[in-house]
Amino acid sequence: MDSRRFLFSLLLLCASVGQMLAQAKTIAERLGYPADSKLLIVHADDLAVAHSVNSASFDALEKRAVTSASIMVPCPWITEVGVYAKAHPDADLGLHLTLTSEWKTYRWGAVASSDRVPSLLDPDGTFWGDTSQVAQHAKADDAEREIRAQVERAMALGIHPTHLDTHMGSVLATPEIFAAYVKVAREFHLPFLAVRVPGAEPFLSTLSEKNIVLDALVMAAPTVHADQWKEFYLNSIKGLKPGLTQMIVHLGHDDAELQAVTMDHPDYGSAWRQRDYDVVTSPEFKKALGDNHIILVKWKDLQKLVNRP
């Protein structure tokens, strides 16, 4: 082998090894932190569903009590979020892709024209009430059209989404809908919510090394009693393991508007959202993060990794 061919081969080998080492790096290392760091996104869901939710979430973002939030584009208060996004260009705002409408008397439908997404709509012309109904009725092509319409609607309002995630897990209703979710995310160069949890293997197996996959998810369940709310969150922080975790909270004020929106639905209802707001804005929550050496990160940070050559 002559010297030029040897040098070329050596360069190829170095490039290959460099790529393997880059792929082997943890997300923490890729963000410039030690490999065993505990990274946490404190994330507020459901912006645009009500003014009360917007108000509480905006306040938490500005207090840095949460690091990111995501928006339900089909909901009526989306315009208020668009105004906020323009005034706060550094706010980490993703899209809470919505294919369900779960409340009893307060409901919404598609952003796309209803004749283009008929399988997503119930007999009343609004989204199906839960994810099992989406799995039963929704066609992947219709879901893709609606997901894309939600992204485009947000951008038209001046919102520059940092990521995509999912309301009620509706984009996980079927593997085909999940594929549409991933396709649109890649088209717009956005990271998207995917988590290493039991049962997710068939979905995660379709992803590439470049995709961001969270190691854990924390969210209060209906089994958490109201008098144990703060304890649940503080214990969750203490129990965080190295890796990337997202803590999902649902913020709002327990006022007349949100009580009407969430009527007869105590799970994720107005009192629930007030408790979440009270906890994440509390001194005890902030102290727990510091005491447990938690590094707060944003989806904007992960977006840079996705778009890095």
Query: Is the pLDDT confidence value at 60 over 90?
Result: yes
* Mean pLDDT of all residues in 242-270: 97
Predicted pLDDT of residue 309:
64
**pLDDT-based confidence at residue 11 (cuts at 50, 70, 90):** very low
3-state secondary structure of 214: strand
Q: What is the DSSP string of 109-171?
A: --SS-GGG-GGGB-TTSSBBSSHHHHHHH--HHHHHHHHHHHHHHHHHTT---S-EEEGGGGG
Q: Is the pLDDT of residue 102 over 70?
A: yes
Nearest to 150 by CA among 133, 136, 171, 174: 171
CA gyration radius, the chain: 21
Checking if the pLDDT of 303 tops 60, the result is: yes
CA angle 39, 44, 48 (to 5 degrees): 150
CA angle 32, 33, 39 (to 5 degrees): 120
Residue 172, CB-side half-sphere exposure with 13 Å CA sphere: 18
Domains of the chain: 28-306 (3.20.20.370)
What proportions of the chain, in percent to the nearest 5, are helix, strand and coil? 50, 15, 40
pLDDT score, position 197: 81
Q: What is the pLDDT of residue 18?
A: 39
pLDDT band at 162 (very low <50, low <70, confident <90, very high): very high
- pLDDT digits over 179-234, tens only? 999 999 999 999 999 998 888 787 888 888 778 999 999 999 999 999 999 999 99
Q: Can you tell me the distance from the alpha carbon of 290 to that of 309, in angstroms, rounded to the nearest whole number?
A: 33
> Which carries the bigger pLDDT value, residue 24 or residue 106?
106
Residue pair 299/203 in contact (Cβ under 8 Å)? The answer is no
- Alpha carbon distance 125, 19 (integer Å): 50
Instruction: Report yes or no: 45 and 193 within 8 Å, Cβ to Cβ.
Output: no
Query: 176, 216, 177, 174: which is closest to 194 by C-alpha?
Result: 216
Mean pLDDT across the chain, nearest whole number?
Answer: 92
The predicted-structure confidence for 266-290, as pLDDT tens digits, reads as follows 999 999 999 999 999 999 999 999 9
CA–CA dist 285, 300 (Å, integer)? 23
pLDDT tens digits for 26-42?
999 999 999 999 999 99
CA 14 from chain centre, in angstroms, equals 37
Split at pLDDT 50, 70, 90, the class of 10 is: very low
Residue 76 tokens read as 């009526």
What amino acid occupies position 113?
S
On whether the CB atoms of residues 15 and 22 are closer than 8 A, the answer is no
**How far apart are the C-alpha atoms of 178 and 119, rounded to whole Å?**
16
What's the pLDDT score for residue 3? Answer: 40
Mean pLDDT of 59-87: 98
Q: What percent of the chain has pLDDT over 70?
A: 92
- The yes-or-no verdict on residue 87 having pLDDT over 50 is yes
